[in-house]
Amino acid sequence: MESYIQISKINDFLFCPRSVYLHTIYDNFHKRAYQRTSQIAGTLAHESIEKGTYSSKKRYLLGMAIYSDELGLCGKIDVYDRETRALVERKRHVKNVYDGYRYQLYAQMACMREMGYVVESLFIHSLTDNKRYTIEMPHEQEWREFTELIDRIKTLDVKDAAILENSPKCPQCIYQPLCHPLTPPKLI
């Protein structure tokens, strides 16, 4: 039986390939044990989707579980508008539209289409400033890059994953305490 990649781990992988592995260590912990302020704020921003209080209109599918057998992906969407056929990924605050955001939407779109839904447009919605960013449908090269990324995640061997020694990302990483020290220990 082949396991599925959680769509949320695509962004983790792009941040640092080791974080996909380290994330699984925390899977059985309560989020409060390891999340930082920004992750807690992001979780709170998604509460209206998880609780189904975003909208009572039947046109919206909220927090629906999705999967793709073809790509070996699973996850949840934030919002799918049945009337406009738009897929919306909500983020607490968007400073830049990162590749991980786009790839997350590509993954959701692939799942939705495989499940029989029509997706005609993609959006990232920044909650704190109420800005909406249009994500273009992937052209052939972008789709190939996306599927190659999924293949790299599937074949990840944590022993071979590069450690981003002293990368500016390391101090921001919630997995850093499990990964490696920022500076080598001093020998006495």
Distance CA 106, CA 140 (A): 12
The domain ranges of the chain are 5-179
Distance CA 129, CA 17 (A): 30
Per residue in 61-110, pLDDT (tens digit) is 999 999 999 999 999 999 999 999 999 999 989 999 999 999 999 999 99
Q: Which class in CATH covers the domain with range 5-179?
A: alpha beta
**Residue 14: which pLDDT band, with cuts at 50, 70 and 90?**
confident
Q: Which of 14-23, 76-85, 171-180 is least confident? A: 171-180
